[in-house]
Structure formats: structure tokens, C-alpha cells
Amino acid sequence: METKISSNALTERFINEAEALRDAALEGNPLLNELRTKALESFRKQGVPGKKAEEYRYIDFSRYLHDDVRIEASKPELCPSIETHPFIDASAPLLVMVNGYFEPSLSRNCEGITALSLADAIAQHSADVFSHLGLAAELGQDPFVDLNTSCFRDGLFLKLSKGLKAERPIQIVQLSAALSPLLIQPRILILAEQGCDADVVYLTTAGLNSELTFSNILIEAHLEAQAQLRLSSIQQDAGMSSVCNTVAHVAKGANLQHVNVSLEGKLIRNNLQTVLTESGSEANLYGYYHPTEKSLFDNHTLVDHRQPHCQSNELYKGVVDGKATAVFKGKIYVRKNAQKTNAFQSNKNILLSAEATVNTKPQLEIYADDVKCSHGSSTGLLDSDQLFYLRARGISLPKAKALLLHAYAGEILSHVRSDFHREALQAYLAQRFES
């Protein structure tokens, strides 16, 4: 029987462990130690969200963080095999992390890409790291950002060089490996230099004993002027619980496309914050989530329009089955200075079970007066007229449902530019729809 622990008790334990770990990793670096100290103090003020925390109102962390969980304090000795994973392209660059530690021996790189552990990056590219680390992921905004910053032990630094035109997608794989309950802190810092054009596919997947792991992921992405970055996130974390904060700063003329596909997990909480920092920047955000059984998939997005002449487009779609729960909360924030903004947001959901639950809250917060903004949401069942049309032509009910769901998800998957990963996702979902 699992023993639950209160959010206050978890907070105290994590603070004590973080204090012990704070100076153990990369000790002697004053900039890092100063950042850790500030992050820990910020986490101390917020703590693990309890039932009264509005931003986490649907999550009872006592169900996912139990009394014997410990912060990962050393590099894992276990390295799960990923050679035959269906979502990994053997011909493309591969960067592997295990419990948040970069594993060069399992990775393969390519020209124009700098990929290092954060420890090595701080030693070799200190100016790049400390001019960006923690800049997008501001302290005090989210307790899990603060916790990650206070005690991450390693991570990945990915630099896409100026003018790079990457021919193959760059794959980042985060694996879990545990012998006892662990809270791991994967940290990724992406710097897309001026004029680069690249696809990055980030895959989180269950490794060894994934049910023992809670993953607190933090991804920072900085797009310089005219950079084009397409970031596709695939979450296949069977039995695992995770919180993933992704924060992106998009500069003048740069374009961020983010596609998030949540397939498996006990708990998946995604916080996606996109900041359009200069005129002419653009963000296109797409999401597909498919919780089953008793899973909880919770997506929170924020698009922050800070300057004029920027645009964003957001479409999130969900299919909810069994006794699962899906949450979508999206906000478009248009500041007073951000005139000539174009911003659109839509959330759509299909319920496959009478016991499935969806909570959706699209939002607009606008302080400029010369803008074009819209938002909307819909939740319902599969269209009965469409099902009748297909069945009238001799297609069985299960097959008809599968065809409609495949087309429904395809609107999101079409934005995954990598042919290999798009086709792998389509094959995975086709098998799920038909089962």
C-alpha cells in the first residue's frame, strides 16, 4: 500500500535535500551557486503545490510523490537500451540523457551542433551558458522551476550555430532508471543562433522501473533573430509521473513551432510559456493528448506578446478515454505596447467514455487596442452523422471510429516535419485507435 505525504512535509524534505546538494555539483562556480541559492529561497516561499494552489488545482501531488521519494543525487549506473525504440531514427543525430545526466557514450552528434553536458558547457562556454541559464525560466513563477534550478546536477547544453540548416532532426531522449523512488531534475538549455533552421525532437520514455520516478523537467530555448526552431515533444512515460516546464524567448523575425504529443503517463503536467520579445516574432503551438485509464494530463500554456507586430497561433486537441482526466488552460497575454498583434487559440476535445473528464479554460488578457485575437473551446463525442455515413458504406463501427480519430489527431501530427517521427506517431495511434 502506498503511503501519502503532505505537500508541506514534501517541501521541507526537498529543501533539506536541496541544501545538501546545492554546492555539491560544480562547486566553486560562484555564478551557479548564487543562482542555486536564489532558486532555493524562491522554492521555500512557494513549496510543493497543495490543494489550494490555483495553478495546480486538479493535481493532488500526494498521489504521485510518496514518503520515500528522494532527489536524485548521483549519476545512475543503469543505462536502459534504446536501440529498437520505435520513435528513434537511427540515421539522425541522437543526444541521450539518463535521469537528467547527459550520456555522450550513447549519443551521436553532427556538424554545426554543439552538444555538451551542462557541466562541460559551464567550463567551455561559460559566457553562453550564464547569459541564458535562468533568463527565460524566471524564478518565482513556478515552484518546479525553482526546485529544478536549485538542485539540478547535470543537463544538456545544445547550441545550434549561426546560419545552420540542419538536414536531419536532432533527437534528444530522456530515459529514467531507478532502483528506488527518485525525483529527477532533467535540465536542457537550447541556444538557436541567428538565422539557424533546425528540427529538434524531444522524447521522454520509460526506462527501468519508471513507476518509481517523478521527473521534474525544465527546458529553456532562446531563439535569436531570424532563427527557425521546430521543437516536437513526445511523451511516452508509461507508469511515470512528470512535470515539464518549457520556456522559450523568441527574438525579432524568429519563428518557434512547438508540437507536444502526450501519449502515456500516470501524470503529465506541461507548462509551456512562449515570450515574443521583439517585433516580427512568431509562435505556432500545437498539442495532442490522449490519456487513458486513470491518467491525468494537464496542459497549461501562456503566450506573452510583449512587442508590436507579432503573431501566435495555438491549437490543442485531446482524446480522453476510460476514467482519465484532461486539463487545458491557455492564456494569450497582450501587453499595452503590443499593437498590431494577431493571436488565435483553440482547444478541442473528444470523450470516448462516460467516465472521462475534461476541464478547459482558454483565456485572453489584452491591454492593447489594435489587435486581432480569438479563443474557443469545444468538448463532445464522435460525430454520429459521420459514423453513420461510414457504417452505411460497410465499415464496421470500430474501424469507423478509428478512421475519425486518426483524421482528428492528424491535424496536429501533420505539423511534425520529420517524416520518420510523424509516421511513427501515426502508426502508434492507429494501433491504439483500433484496439
> Is 349 inside any structural domain?
no
| pLDDT at residue number 1 | 38
187: closest CA among 129, 111, 241, 263? 129
Residues 6+ apart with CB under 8 A from 98: 76, 78, 79, 80, 106, 175, 176, 177, 207
| pLDDT at residue number 22 | 66
Q: What residues does 372 pair with on adjacent strands? A: 342
The tens digit of pLDDT for each residue in 301-340 reads: 999 999 999 999 999 999 999 999 999 999 999 999 999 9
Count of domains forming the chain: 2
Q: Are residues 240 and 387 in the same domain?
A: no
The tens digit of pLDDT for each residue in 200-226 reads: 999 999 777 778 889 999 999 999 999
Tell me the C-alpha to C-alpha distance, in Å, between residue 84 and each of 148, 170, 259, 429: 31, 18, 24, 18
Q: Are residues 90 and 213 in the same domain?
A: yes
> Is 146 inside any structural domain?
yes
Q: Are residues 274 and 402 in the same domain?
A: no
Furthest C-alpha separation in the chain: 72
Residue 230 has phi, psi (to 5 degrees) of -110, 110
> Is 328 inside any structural domain?
no
For strand 341-351 and strand 371-380, is the pairing parallel, antiparallel, or unpaired?
A: parallel
> Is 227 inside any structural domain?
yes
- Domain limits for position 180: 7-278
Rounded distance between C-alpha atoms, residue 343 and residue 365, angstroms: 11
> Is 413 inside any structural domain?
yes
Cβ-contact 272, 303 below 8 angstroms: no
Domain limit, last residue, from 254, 278, 302: 278
Cβ-contact 341, 371 below 8 angstroms: yes
> Is 41 inside any structural domain?
yes
> Is 288 inside any structural domain?
no
Please identify which residue in the block is written with the cell numbers 540542419: 166
| pLDDT at residue number 43 | 95
| pLDDT at residue number 26 | 47
Q: Is the pTM of this model over 0.85?
A: yes
Dig out the grid coordinates for 226 from the structure. Answer: 531570424
The tens digit of pLDDT for each residue in 254-277 reads: 999 999 999 999 999 999 999 999
Domain limit, last residue, from 224, 252, 278: 278
Q: Are residues 386 and 261 in the same domain?
A: no
Dig out the grid coordinates for 293 from the structure. Answer: 485509464
| pLDDT at residue number 211 | 83
Q: Are residues 105 and 244 in the same domain?
A: yes
Domain limit, last residue, from 261, 278, 295: 278
> Is 354 inside any structural domain?
no
**Ranges of the chain whose pLDDT falls below 70:** 1-4, 22-28, 78, 80
For residue 426, count CB atoms less than 10 angstroms from its CB and return exposed for 0-12, middle for 13-18, buried for 19 or more. middle
Length of the chain measured in residues: 435
Q: What residues does 249 pair with on adjacent strands? A: 222, 275
